Amino acid sequence: MLKRLALAAGLLALWPALLHAHHGWGSYDAKNPITVTGKILTSVYENPHATITVQGADKVWTVTLAPTSRMRNRGALPELVAVGTEISAYGYPSTVDPGEMRAERITAGGKTIEMR
Task: Walk me through the domains of the chain, giving residue ranges and CATH numbers.
Answer: 26-114 (2.40.50.1010)
Q: Are 83 and 94 in contact (CB under 8 A)?
A: no
Q: What is the pLDDT of residue 105?
A: 98
pTM of the model: 0.79
> Average pLDDT of each block of 10 consecutive residues along the chain (116 residues)?
54 46 73 98 96 97 97 96 98 97 97 94
Counting runs of H as helices and runs of E as strands, what totals does the chain give? 2, 6
Q: What is the pLDDT of residue 22?
A: 46
Helix (H) or strand (E) holding 17: helix 2-21
Other beta carbons less than 10 A from residue 48's beta carbon: 12
Q: Are 40 and 83 in contact (CB under 8 A)?
A: yes
Q: What is the pLDDT of residue 25?
A: 65
